A = this chain, B = another copy of it.
Amino acid sequence: MKTRILVVEDEDPLRLALCDALRAEGFDVLEAADGEAGLALALKEGPEIVLLDLMLPKRDGFSVLRAIREDRLASAVVILSARGEEWDRVQGFEYGADDYVVKPFSTRELVLRLRAVLRRAEGEAPGVGTPERKARFGACEVDFAAYTVDRDGSKQGLSRQELDLLRVFLGNPGRVMPRETLLDLAWGRDEFPTTRTVDTHVLKLRKKIESDPEAPQHIVTVHGVGYRFER
């Protein structure tokens, strides 16, 4: 899923250059040449980011920014401002924006800032409550933030894939999960490993969370179907 970004800039050459550069970076780019069109498009499409020039015909950048915020739009807003002019206002009003870039700027700088903004935005987005940093079952405590699991006081590191798999198990306790389902959920839709890969990872997980890996208490094999996780 591409990140959608709306570019609101009235100078044609710059806008086109920006759009090209951003498309080349893999963004899904929308564009507008004045404030009104930009605001309308932002409200209609709700892109992840709005890249907003300050000096615009019909409706200036601040006004657009304010309107976006008043609509509680989730978009991050990055201000494009010329050096010197408006600087004070940027300082004063910048609170509503997520970042700002001073012209002239390099594509590299812009892209890096955009990525940083996206990182921050999704870092706090997990909306309703924190996604539970720790979970416990049996004698184990998993720390998702630390990538560790603690069994009876002995701490083990988990690899990313192991943690992802364990997370899926924890989210579906007591039900049998076919290997294909596990691949879908713990790997990506872009990854297509063999179902045997699942076995290997189950093996590794068992060694870390089971007190007796030979007779698993938590990750139980259901012959011919898949695995079932029990607390």
8 extra interface residue pairs, beta carbon distance < 8 Å, beyond A116-B184, A147-B228: A14-B92, A17-B92, A20-B95, A90-B104, A95-B107, A96-B107, A143-B174, A145-B176
Asked if A21 lies at the interface with its beta carbon under 8 angstroms from chain B, I say yes
Bound complex: CA of A97 vs CA of B13, how far in Å?
15
Contact between chains at A104 and B96 (CB < 8 Å): no
Alpha-carbon gap, A143 to B91, bound state (A): 34
Which among B93, B106, B176 is the interface contact of A98 at CB below 8 angstroms? B106
Q: CB-nearest residue of chain B relative to A20?
A: B95
**Shortest distance from the beta carbon of A226 to any chain B beta carbon, whole Å:** 9
The segment from A33-41, A56-64, A117-125, A205-213 found at the interface with B is A117-125
Chain B residues in 8 Å Cβ range of A192: 108-109, 112
A108 to B190, CA, bound (A): 12
Q: How far is the CA of A116 from the CA of B106 in the complex (A)?
A: 12
The complex is assembled from copies of this chain, and their number is 2
Q: Does A231 contact B (CB under 8 A)?
A: no
Which of chain B's residues have a CB closer than 8 A to the CB of A106?
94-95, 97-99
CB-CB < 8 A to A99: which residues of B? 106
- Residue A160 lies at the interface, judged by CB distance under 8 Å to chain B: yes
Which of B14, B98, B100, B109 makes the CB contact (< 8 A) with A120? B109
Of the listed stretches A42-50, A196-204, A217-225, name the one at the interface; the rest are far from the partner chain: A217-225
A13 to chain B, nearest CB (A): 4
Say whether A146 faces chain B, with CB atoms less than 8 Å apart.
yes
CA distance A89 to B112 in the complex (A): 23
- Chain B residues positioned under 8 Å from A109 (CB to CB): 120, 192
Residue of B nearest to A221 (CB): B157
> For A220, what are the chain B residues with a Cβ–Cβ distance below 8 Å?
157
Docked pose: A18 CA to B95 CA in angstroms: 7
On whether the beta carbons of A92 and B147 are closer than 8 Å, the reply is: no
Chain B residues near A17 (CB-CB < 8 A): 92-93, 95-96
Residues of the B chain whose Cβ atoms lie less than 8 Å from the Cβ of A96? 17, 107
